[in-house]
Structure 1
Amino acid sequence: MTSVGAFAGMPRVRADGQRVGRISEFPFTLGVASGDPMPSSVVLWTRLAPRPYEVGSGLPPAGVVEVQWDIAGDEQFRNIERSGLTTASADFGYSVHVDVSGLQPGRSYWYRFRTGAWSSPVGRTRTAPAADASVRELRLGLASCQQYDGGYYTAHAHLAREELDAVFFVGDYIYENAIDAQAGERRLPAGSRLPEVFGHELKTLEDYRLRYALARTDPDLRAAHAAHPWVVTWDDHEVENNYAAGVPQAGEAPEGFLARRAAAYRAYWENMPLRPAQSPSGADMRLYRRLLFGRLAQFDVLDTRQYRSDQAYGDGWQYPGPESQDASRTMTGAAQERWLLDGFRTSTATWNVIPQQVAFSRRRLTLTGPSRLSMDAWDGYPASRDRVLQGARTAVAGNLIVLSGDSHIHLAMDIKQDFDDPRSPTVGVEILGSSITSGADGMEKPEDWAELLAANPHMSYYAKRRGYVVITLTPTHARADYRTLAYVTRPGAPVTTGASLVTRAGAPGFHPA
């Protein structure tokens, strides 16, 4: 067995830091998680919270707890391959991030944590294939937008039972809104109430920590984390609705907003299975990163919130004009854009996949005449979108797939070289997944179903149910299976497949499977 350091690159807890005494209550209430799989390493996560609904989670405001971790090649832990000791510090919300190295590529592992007399639930993870591996198939989950008071996380129960290599979660893990005592659309049973601590909008580090704890008390979310490694990125609600870089939505001084953003970013890192390299520095946190899965797929995970230009004409659906069409406007910021285009140039993968937050393709609302467009999505930043597509064409980075969330609907869209000309070449596809709960139950065919599909001939599927997407990548094709649930405002909904679409390698464009 080999001990692997957990906090390389992080501020170190002083060797004489006060040890927390015996923990008398089960501390692993928030479950376990893994993430960012590489061929020889993966991140393991947990956070100690004996009382998750209390400020401080039932642990002292200062101190450290020693935590043992194990990773094994079998679920019974007869063959423990790596283990070690680390510390969970109050400075980081008693979270644990262990970057385990020395693993075998393309292999499943099981992991657990222990402290004192307590053992965590067991999680299952999987490393990425070797960089030069010829991979026959990858199966991925796409999920986003899980407002706690929007309904039950039943979709995660189904996601946990899927056979997947990884889950990509593309934003809105929490929402910053106040939650009433009955948890909104969850409508807690008589006699059950949420504590008043959740009844205000999030502003402080403790506010954000508590909201993550609330989300993780859901057993279905814990099951999905324990079943698969996750690759995460944020959107707006992890801080505030529709914020843009250092600009709040409304009514908050910039300096106060940056302090709020710093608190939100810190809580995000504490609660996600991310490496120390992603830990924030004040109000800044580099989240964009690249993951390779053999020769089959390159994943360029984007951050379209921290560096973007402010929305033109407000953050809603507006008619485009000179401000939104300004060539200097950016969704990614200059450094991230260069990084992305450089990645296109060096990619040798069959599929170039961009997991990111908001709708990438054009979405008109009307069939004729000028149409309002979403100023918060890439339609509000067309020059930025054009630079990304031009960079992919110049680099001959074929088989482009964009993964998106945010909109609380399922959409399948062909990415056009020129969205103003429906006959222009298709240069990739976009898989936009619906929400886990946000928007409550929804409907299969909303009122604007026929009009939206007619106004956007590059759009081949549109539904407004809650759910997620299962994506299968092979050397010859990519398949998107859109899973839907009929309701989330009560638990136990069955899952169905609303549509299955395929795009062929070398011939971009969606077709029925």
Structure 2
Amino acid sequence: MDDHSAHPLDDTRREFLRKAVTTATVAGLGASGTEVAAAEEHGGQAPQHENPFTLGVASGDPLPDSVVLWTRLAPEPLTEAGGMPGHQVPVQWEIATDEAMSQVVGKGTAKARPEYGHSVHIDVKGLDADTEYYYQFKVGSDRSPVGRTKTAPEPGMDVSEFTFAFTSCQNYPFGYYTAHDHLADEDLDLAIQLGDYIYEGGGQGVFGRGHEPPREIQNLSDYRIRQAQYKTDPNLQDAHAAFPWLVTWDDHEVENNYADATSEDNALTEEFLERRANAYQAYFEHQPLRPSRMPEGPNLPLYRRFTFGDLVEFNVLDTRQYRDDQVYSAEEADDPGRTILGDEQENWLVDGLTDSTSQWNVLANQVPFAATDENPNPDVQDFGGGDKWDGYRADRERLLGVMADDPELNPVVITGDVHRNYAYNLKADFSNPDSETVGTEYVGTSASSFGDGSGITQYGPSLGEPWQRFFNDDRGYVRCTITPEQWQTDYRVVSTVEKPEATVSTVASFTTDAGEPGATLASERPAQPQQTAVEIADIRPNQDGDLNNEYATVKNTGDTTIDFSGFILSFEAGSQNYTFGEFTLGPGETVTVRNGPGEDTESTLYADFGGPVLNNSNPDTVLVANEDGIVLDEASYPPV
């Protein structure tokens, strides 16, 4: 991609830009460089001798001629008003073509108002396309950190390469943002956050990063404090300051598993809509969204589209605000009237895909699109996909039809939510694994939610999902590099989220060729020596909540003893993992692990997870993995 910022601006062009971008649209106000005096006359300066920029800076929603700049004044971010006075405060901003902020091409003053948490959202216009810029805010003598941003190429412009990363699910008490630390070091054109930016509960964790306030949040003040707490993380601030972001939400920005106006516990609609309005306002106040996205009560128009030259178009979806409530049976999920997008958003999406002239077309989406509820055993009718597209099959089938109808669409779905990495081939008909592959889905793991994973990694299909090409449950983010000919996805995982510093590595890379939907492993698959002689000989699901009814028996089918130290037996497809201590298994020998309490023997071990496990559904499987986490065998539960 051409980088115009690498070339010095001549005087004429610099003067043109200086004039072109001295005005902007700002949330809740108008602003320009000539309004400083008026702002000061109707408001006051922020408290002196305190840093008002504790939440950092961010940019987002890049267009060819504009980008949104964001900050929020909060010298005391974990207090109700952020330590700010009850009146508006003028905030000066500048945008330049160099990091030293010496080549300023635009500036102005915004009014940070208390009714919007003293946040500012500046829609800087008149910028050059496909150009790198730097920006900074100033209040009194205090200056913010300098952020870097970049405008989009013009529609139709020849773009040879585009690199972005996506992330999701960053539960603050569950671990450090080591993923964001490394994300900030990536050379990206764009970053995308796919939801669960905050969590609404009162969890405290064990790392001294407990939620504030220490309870489930409900009112506007609580949501502001929680959003601000997450924004105080220095690694997250660095990632936001490094490149422009596209953001969307999932459920935890408001409440777990809410659907439209329905809360998880079916609270009164009026009460829940008030809570949703509080959450939506706090979300807007803390994200680089255009002023046109400002919420009106419990409504915030978040779905939107961004085009980068002739190469890629991103459809940023909202699968939470307009969805029907979750259902938990296949019969209910088949109802053709059910929707996850709402009619208006679905029509907008279908029209956009149909009219697109971009080489790659992306659905930036919250929850898994591929089918995850197809049990290989026809006698098992359990259903566990209510929160995913599995619970809204008619919507999914319509989009799969759009993908199938246009062989030049090159659709790719990027997804968060499930705290695991997956690669899926999207089938025209998920009831027939041999049907045509019409698209590709890359699912990213969490940044910190659920803490460190087990490292379990599976290459190729799973029993319940023959369209799966990859599974991994480490923590991290996903980096994607796009050219006109090929899409490459790198699953970047960190060594731990339990320490402020950690290493990062690429656990697997996949490619999708233009015109050939589906994911192909591009990196080397770890070798599996004699350990392939391990197989699951017998399994049984829990019954009536009795943990000791659930067990798995593993057999050494080879001719030599296998050192099982560090091997993992995973119940419920990764939800409950038993790691072997110092243990060997001779040729032909078996060992049974029971998912409950008991006294170990030579041939029977007890996982003793200390509580009930998930029911066998969706289709629950047992995995056995070696000490490197590589899956050696899996088996699906028989019907109860």
Matches within 5 A, 1:113-152: 113-152=137-176
Match of 2:559 in 1: none
Residue of structure 2 in register with 1:333 after alignment: 342
Amino acid paired to 2:468: M
Per-residue deviation, residues 410-442 of structure 1 (Å, max 9, x unmatched)? 001011101111111101100100000001001
Residue type matched to 1:211 in 2?
Answer: R
Alignment-derived partner of residue 191 in structure 1:
none
Is the aligned partner of 1:354 residue 2:379? no
Matched, 1:474 2:489: no
Residue 352 of structure 1 aligns to which amino acid in structure 2?
N
Q: How far is the alpha carbon of 1:242 from its aligned partner?
A: 0.5
Identity of aligned residues (%): 45
Equivalent-residue separation in structure 1 for 2:301 and 2:262 (angstroms): 18
Question: Which residue pairs with 2:65 in the alignment?
Answer: 40
Question: Structure 1 residues 320, 226: CA separation in 2 closer, same or farther (over 3 Å shift)?
Answer: same
Is 2:404–2:428's contact at 8 Å kept on the other side of the alignment? no
CA spacing shift, 1:69–1:365, aligned 2, 3 Å: same
Partner of 2:127: 103
Equivalences for residues 81-480 of structure 1 within 5 A: 81-180=105-204, 184-187=205-208, 197-250=212-265, 252-313=267-328, 319-321=329-331, 323-364=332-373, 366-369=375-378, 370=380, 372-394=383-405, 398-445=409-456, 453-480=462-489
Residue 24 of structure 2 is matched in structure 1 by 5
**Shift in alpha-carbon separation, 1:255–1:95, aligned structure 2, 3 A:** same
> Do the aligned residues in 2 keep the contact of 1:301 with 1:356 (CA within 8 Å)?
yes
**Deviation per residue, 1:210-250 (Å, 9 max, x gap):** 01110011110000000011000000000000100000000
Deviation, 1:444, is 1.5
- Residues 471-500 of structure 1, C-alpha deviations (whole Å, 9 max, x = no match): 111100101000112321222110111100
**Distance in 2 between the 1:366 and 1:487 partners?**
33
Of structures 1 and 2, the one scoring higher in RCO (CA 8 A, sep 6+) is: 1
Distance of aligned partners of 1:398 and 1:450 in 2 relative to their CA distance in 1, 3 Å threshold: closer
| Matches of 1:509 and 1:272, distance apart in 2 | 33
Q: What amino acid is the match of 1:51?
A: E
Secondary structure, in 3 states, of the residue corresponding to 1:373?
A: coil
- The whole-number CA distance in structure 2 between the counterparts of 1:301 and 1:238 is 17
Question: TM-score, normalised on structure 2?
Answer: 0.75
> Retained in 2: the 8 A contact 1:67–1:114?
yes
The amino acid that maps onto 2:281 is: R
Residues in 1 aligned to 2:73 and 2:485: alpha-carbon distance in whole angstroms: 44
Q: Distance in 2 between matches of 1:164 and 1:47?
A: 24
Q: Quickly say closer, same or farther: Cα 1:270–1:80, change in 2 above 3 A.
A: same
Q: CA deviation at 1:21?
A: 5.4
- Cα deviation for residue 391 of structure 1 reads 2.8
| Corresponding residue of 1:485 | 494
Kept in 1: contact 2:46–2:52 (CA 8 A): no
CA contact (8 A) 2:29 2:110 kept: no
Q: Which residue of 2 aligns with 1:512?
A: 521
- Whether 1:76 aligns to 2:100 is yes
Deviations 1:234-268 (A, max 9, x none): 00000000100000000521110000000000011
Distance between the aligned counterparts of 2:460 and 2:504, measured in 1?
27
Q: Are the counterparts in 2 of residues 365 and 451 from structure 1 also a CA contact under 8 Å?
A: no
How much does 1:22 deviate?
4.5
Letter in 2 for 1:151: G
Q: 1:70-100: CA deviations, max 9, x gaps?
A: 1111111121111111111101000011111
> Contact between 2:134 and 2:146, CA under 8 Å: does it hold in 1?
yes
Match of 2:505 in 1: 496
CA distance in 2, matches of 1:477, 1:78: 39
Deviation at 1:455, TM superposition (A): 2.1
CA distance in 2, matches of 1:502, 1:207: 43
For structure 1, the residue ranges without an aligned partner over 5 or more in a row are 189-193, 314-318
How far the C-alpha of 1:451 sits from its partner, in A, is 11
Residues in 1 aligned to 2:404 and 2:335: alpha-carbon distance in whole angstroms: 22
CA contact (8 A) 1:500 1:512 kept: yes
- Per the alignment, in what secondary structure is the counterpart of residue 357 of structure 2? coil
Q: Which amino acid aligns with 2:216?
A: E
SS of aligned partner of 2:422: strand
Contact 2:414 2:441 in 1 (8 A): yes
**Secondary structure of 1:385's partner?**
helix
Distance in 2 (alpha carbons) for counterparts of 1:366 and 1:391? 26
The TM-score normalised by the length of structure 1 is: 0.93
Q: Which amino acid counterpart does residue 305 of structure 1 have in structure 2?
A: R
Cα RMSD, aligned residues only? 1.9
Name stretches of at least 5 consecutive residues in structure 2 with no aligned partner.
Answer: 1-17, 32-37, 523-640
Is the 2:47–2:84 Cα contact (8 Å) retained in structure 1? no
Instruction: Give, in angstroms, the shift of residue 454 of structure 1.
Output: 2.7
